Amino acid sequence: MIEEYENIQQNKEGVYHKLFFDDYFELNIFYNIDDTEIVRFQLLYNRKDNPHILTWMNDLGFKHTKAYNKDVNASRKKKYMLIPDGIFNNEKLAQKFKEESKNVDPDTAEFILSKILEYDIEDENIFL
């Protein structure tokens, strides 16, 4: 079950950031402070075995990437290289997110869920 990490440092003026995570997911959500609208999110899934990231930005759309860890030294902090990896089973991911997001605000969880299901490789922004 994903839980909110509450002690997150806010870095960008005009944007409010929330972080949720568990063993499978890491969800970063960025809100516009003026109207509390979600302006961007990154959903890292299958964190430990085969990490991928679904990114959505309100002005640029979607990008799906594989998070490739080229550092083989486990004692060092992981650094990922993001590699385009368009097609994925968004219905399966949506189901898993729905099961694990019970601790997320219902409106926020529903928004993320709807975006997961909305994803279409044809609409992916190659410049994101």
In a domain? residue 128 = no
Chain mean pLDDT for the chain: 87
Percent of the chain predicted with pLDDT > 90: 60
- Residue 29, helix vs strand vs coil: strand
Supply the range of the domain harboring residue 35. Answer: 3-123
In a domain? residue 107 = yes
- Residue 3, helix vs strand vs coil: strand
CB-based contact 123:62 (threshold 8 Å): yes
State which H helix or E strand residue 7 sits in. Answer: none
In a domain? residue 115 = yes
Which pLDDT value is given to residue 7?
Answer: 83
In a domain? residue 92 = yes
pTM (2 d.p.):
0.86
Query: What are the pLDDT digits (tens) for 4-53?
Result: 998 887 777 778 889 999 999 999 999 988 767 999 999 999 998 999 99
